[in-house]
Every structure is written in C-alpha cells, then in structure tokens.
Amino acid sequence: MPDYGATMEVLRLAPHLLGFYDGRIPGVRLYSEKPNWLDDGAFALGICTYAVVDGADALVYDPHISVPHARIIRRTLEDMGVKRMRLVLSHWHDDHVAGTEVFADCEIIANKDTAELLAAHKDALESGDPPIKPLILPNALFSGTL
C-alpha cells in the first residue's frame, strides 16, 4: 500500500483555486485490505478538497481523508506564502473531516447543524476504522448562509 498522500495530485484549477485530488486508482488501497470507510468509500470514489487562495490568506474546503493528506494541503499553502488559513467543513461525514487535526490552530467554520452532528458522532468517528483521532470540532458556527 502506498503512503497516505503519495498519490495525491495538486491541481491548479484557476489563478486562486487549488484542488487536492486523490483516489479512484484501480487495485490501490491506502489503509487495509479489510473493509473500511476510507478505502471502500472516499478513496474508491476519489475525493477532491479545494483551497481558495488570496495572497497570505486561504480558505480550505474540507481537510481531506487523512491527517497526512491534510498536512500536504497545509504545507503546499504555506510554501505558497499563506499565513492565515480558515477551514470550512461541508458536513460531518468521516471522509470530509479526517484531517481536522492539522488545522486545529485555525478558524474551523461549520453550519450549526453540522457542528451538532460532529459532536454527537465524535466518539464513533474517533473509534472508527480507521479512527479520526483527535477529531477537532468547529470553533466558528453559522446558521443559514454566511
């Protein structure tokens, strides 16, 4: 099995938009030969996380499927000169929150309903296969639209 993130592609989609894509590689698994959410869900389907970059600021949309993936995202942005990052969580599913640990020192934004679901499912996410531990909860909430 390859190292986490070894197959991830950094895509420059537009002047201020990056995509971080991994997965959908026939016959390749990252975590285990046994059934699990990472290999049989997100990685099998393919997943792309996005970052909107404006000078020293970046808005990251979901922290990807693992801590190593999230580290690559953060390092890529820092190498571009980004100093301030904000993370937006689209929803509470494991494949969209697995790398929150890497952004623990950032503003983590989520809808109030998403934050409540993350809190309610925190133990299950942290003890899942593979575990997301620690799961960092959002620290900036909104209702409706931003």
State the DSSP string of the chain: -PPTTTT-EEEEEETTEEEEEE---TT--SS-SS--HIIIIIHHH-EEEEEEEETTEEEEE---SSHHHHHHHHHHHHHTT--EEEEE---S-HHHHTTGGGGTTSEEEEEHHHHHHHHHHHHHHHTSSS---SPPPPSEEESS--
Delineate the domains of the chain, giving CATH numbers in brackets.
Answer: 9-142 (3.60.15.10)
Q: Give 102-142 pLDDT, tens digit per residue.
A: 999 999 999 999 999 999 999 999 999 999 999 999 999 99
Stated pTM of the model: 0.96
Residue 2 has a pLDDT of: 78
Q: What is the pLDDT of residues 45-88, one digit of tens each?
A: 999 999 999 999 999 999 999 999 999 999 999 999 999 999 99
Residues in the chain: 146
Q: What is the pLDDT of residue 145?
A: 82
Greater confidence, 123 or 145? 123
